[in-house]
Amino acid sequence: MTGFSTTHPTLGKSGFAFLLTDRGGKILLALLLAAIIIVPILNLAVPPSSPFHISTFMVSLFGKYLCYALLALSVDLIWGFCGILSLGHGAFFALGGYAMGMYLMRQIGTRGVYANPVLPDFMVFLNWKELPWTWYGFDMFWFAMIMVLVVPGILAFAFGWLAFRSRVTGVYLSIITQALTYALLLAFFRNDMGFGGNNGLTDFKDLLGFNVQTDGMRVTLFVLTAIFLAASYILCRFIVSSRLGRVLIAIRDAESRTRFLGYRVANYQTFVFVISAMLAGIAGALYVPQIGIINPSEFAPANSIEIVIWVAIGGRGTLYGAVLGAILVNYGKSYFTGALPEAWLYMLGALFVLVTIFLPKGVVGAWPTIKARLAERLLSSKPKLEAAE
Amino acid sequence: MAERKAQLVRGFASLAFVVFMMAVAALPALAASFEDTLVGFTADSFNDTATAMSAVTESGDPLAPQILGALGDGRLLFSAATKKVYFKDSTDKLFDAATGAAVTAVAPGDLSPVRLNNRLRGLLSAALGSLTLMAPDVAKRIDAAETVFKSRDITTLPALDKALAQEKNAEVKEAMLEARAAIVIGAPDTSPEHRLVAITALNTRGDGDALVLLRTLPADVPANVKQAAASAISSIEYRLSIWANVQNLWYGLSLASVLLLAAIGLAITFGVMGVINMAHGEMVMLGAYTTFVIQEFFRAKFPGFTDYALIVATPAAFLVAGAFGIAIERGIIRHLYGRPLETLLATWGLSLILQQLVRTVFGPTNRDVGAPAWMAGAFQAGHISITYNRMWIIVFTIVVFAALLALLRYTAFGLEMRAVTQNRAMASAMGIKTGRVDALTFGLGSGIAGIAGVALAHIDNVSPNLGKAYIIDSFMVVVFGGVGNLWGTLVGALTLGVANKFLEPFAGAVLGKIVILVLIILFIQKRPRGLFALKGRAVEA
């Protein structure tokens, strides 16, 4: 477990030491900054005929990857630094997405199929006469954005407070988080819940008065996602580098011992769980306008388990590794489900098995070993090449 | 005059004979008298045909339905010369109406169909309806009474009353009384006494139909009748609610048996190794596909023995899934001990691979596993219907559970397994090869999952997603029951199964399930290690 520890000899020297000592993080933030500047130019300013043009489709696709990266970051925060393996983080993601989706639904107004100024189409279709109380306030952007944080936050607080206080840990916790998202999946499938049932929420028009379908809005959403990812990364890095972060790592490595030292383990766990759920909610809220739909399948337990494998592949307990893993796996998924649809599930399955056995620290953790081995091979092959010449 | 007298006497004699025959209802009619009743058909007069028709109806002869049916379809033929009656079946084969024997000799040349008019057609349909009320066969009479009960046709009332008067079998009589009650209860001109009798009969019947009928009681009946009906209604409702609970209990037991089968293997592997095997559902699926393959093999090679495929499929499924389990343990899980969360992820990946593998080999569509004859159908117990396949699955589950308990209790392997569960380090120090126990335990748990697949193949679709559907429920059972011993799993499965089915009528299937999930999440807060938790220092390890 020592491989995960984040030792910062400079801790406390400077306000930004937690960032400056983090090489992977610096690279990540630099890449995000570059994407924020370059992608809008390549999409909007470069003509489509140019080979440097990035299509709006690609912008949205990478925007989606960044949302997943933010989600993976939130899972790494609790799993990599506090040892809480949540198999239900997709639930918080979906709840944030639903909060955003509800705002977008209310913005449709009379432009829906049934042209009802208040009720979304599916409610008119179900013959409902008035808006359920759960939808009150979602016509206001600020309220919806607060809900993006509050709904996942409150659920995570209630769940975490109950579970951690009762010292439900390890496999048991994983299973009940899975039960949580499964229960929500079933609940959101019901039409009576008033969230669109099976079909979910879709057919969005405006976000703050701007049409979400336009190129400009897509690029804006991409940039926003990148900014939120960078900001969340800094927040997470700040948390794990602080004194609080040290306690979290202590809990991860020896929960009982930390408790005996006098720390209130449950409070730390609940705190970080709530922060993580809120980050997942933000990821969901950014995801929905870019994808254009939110439906109950986002709650599926299988999705939540997949998030964990992104983190595992990238490198648990490094934060930037989670981002890398999410982007790598999802890029691979997009590519292979198109090129070899039969093979993707084999590959995903094999990734789970091989990474857990051979790469317990993920790609990031294995990088030094790979680098050393590559260098060795290069060194040993160079004389041969020279000899051949 | 003398001839007429003789006819009368003969008529009386035959009437007396018919009455006598009815008195001993089970006895078959004698051919001679029956032949006489048929003569009326040969006169080619509507009146004689009508008389003959009612005589045939009352004769209760087993041939009567055939004859009347033939009459309705114009297949009843007579020869005026020989005074004999015949009927043709649908393939134009000729039979003697008196004996039912096929006519082999040359048929008379002057055969012509017995004619009907509208009046006779009306009489005929009523006769056909009431005919079976007097059939010699008890089951047929009950069926007929049930038909009348359903149709509530007031025109059948005379025939019903007649049948009722001569009925000796108590069960049939009961059914007829109920049928009569169904007709008269709502009729406007029934006397209060008859209504009271009807209410009593319906109260005895005591099902939903009776309840509906009691509510059709007209408003202008005397107070005592009204009161009787009201108390009958509340009595029926009370009994029906008890039956509904019995039915729910049965459904709950049935669900519990399935849950137990699916979860028990998981409980074993989790109990011994602290490992959650996410590919457990896929072991169930492999068992189901093994059943499918073996059944197909039997169908192709030994079509006569398809019903016995199950006898081969059960051990085969155990071996296939068990072999996969051992391979998984040796190949993957062995490398991940002490890292339960990583094991969970690796086995999840494995489950994806196995699903895709089965999809590649067998295709993504559902496969059909036919139930053997002794598992098909259902029987009625009181007011609930019990399907044989559900019943056999419960029996099967009990057998598997008992066998597993015996294995753990009485074999050396069981002893070693329990030792490793309770204290791995100490067991190892005592010379138990824990690695071998782990592999065998995993094989055993997976094998049991395979056996669960055999059962599930008969009540669910055999598809690559079969395992997925059960995995979360199985986890819930194990987590709820605790891993201390198998009884915890049993109690967990029973509780969840029965609670689920009792919630369903109030909350609906989906909401019921959500409530159960939330309750389990809350329960885990109270008892983080389940109902029957292991105690001692091994727990924290």
Q: What is the pLDDT of residues A97-148, one digit of tens each?
A: 999 999 988 888 777 777 777 788 888 887 788 888 888 888 888 999 999 9
Interface of B with A in 264-303 (CB under 8 A): 270, 274, 276, 278
Residue with tokens 């107004």: A109
Cβ contact (<8 Å) for A349 and B540?
no
Residue of A155, A164, A195, A357 to mutate, interface with B, max B Cβ within 10 Å? A357
Q: Distance between CA A329 and CA A310 in Å, rounded?
A: 6
For residue A1, which of A68, A105, A82 has the smallest C-alpha distance? A82
Q: What is the pLDDT of residue A4?
A: 45
CA B123 to chain A, closest CA, distance in angstroms equals: 53
Is some CB atom of chain B closer than 8 A to the CB atom of A172?
yes
Query: Do the beta carbons of residue A334 and residue A61 sit within 8 Å?
Result: yes
User: What is the mean pLDDT of the segment spanning A147-165?
Assistant: 92
Q: What is the pLDDT of residue A71?
A: 95
Return the structure tokens found at A77.
């925060």
Q: Could you read off the pLDDT of A242-264 as tens digits, one per residue?
A: 999 999 999 999 888 999 999 99
Is some CB atom of chain A closer than 8 A to the CB atom of B539?
no
User: What is the mean pLDDT of the segment spanning A77-90?
Assistant: 91
Q: What percent of chain B has pLDDT over 90?
A: 9
What torsion do the CA atoms of A127, A129, A133, A136 make, to the nearest 10 degrees? 110
Cβ contact (<8 Å) for A345 and B520?
no
Enter the ipTM. Answer: 0.81
What torsion do the CA atoms of B341, B342, B347, B349 make, to the nearest 10 degrees? 120
CA B196 to chain A, closest CA, distance in angstroms equals: 46
Query: Do the beta carbons of residue B41 and residue B85 sit within 8 Å?
Result: yes
Name the burial class of residue A297, with classes exposed (0-12), middle (13-18) and buried (19+) by CB atoms within 10 angstroms of its CB: middle
Of A166, A187, A350, the CB nearest to B353: A350
Angle of helix A56-82 relative to helix A301-314, nearest 10 degrees?
Answer: 80
Low-confidence ranges of chain B (pLDDT < 50): 20-31, 539-541
Nearest CA in chain B to A305: B345
Name every chain B residue with its beta carbon within 8 A of the beta carbon of A269: none
Of A166, A178, A342, the CB nearest to B472: A178
Q: Distance between CA A342 and CA B355 in Å, rounded?
A: 12
Q: What is the pLDDT of residue B13?
A: 56
**Reported pTM:** 0.76
Q: Could you read off the pLDDT of A167-226 as tens digits, one per residue?
A: 887 788 888 898 899 999 988 988 888 888 888 888 888 788 788 778 888 888 899 999
Of A168, A170, A309, the CB nearest to B524: A168
Is some CB atom of chain A closer than 8 A to the CB atom of B352?
yes
CA distances to A103, A289, A291, B401 from A211, rounded to whole Å, are 14, 10, 14, 62
Is some CB atom of chain B closer than 8 A to the CB atom of A353?
yes
Strand partners, B387: B378
Q: Distance between CA A237 and CA B356 in Å, rounded?
A: 39
Q: What is the pLDDT of residue A7?
A: 46
Q: E strands along B18-152, which residues?
A: 76-79, 84-88, 94-96, 111-113
User: What is the mean pLDDT of the segment spanning A157-171?
Assistant: 87
| Residue type at A296 in one-letter notation | P
Is some CB atom of chain A closer than 8 A to the CB atom of B541?
no
Name the burial class of residue A224, with classes exposed (0-12), middle (13-18) and buried (19+) by CB atoms within 10 angstroms of its CB: middle
Is some CB atom of chain A closer than 8 A to the CB atom of B356?
yes
What angle is formed at CA B488 by the lines to CA B483 and CA B494, rounded to 5 degrees? 135
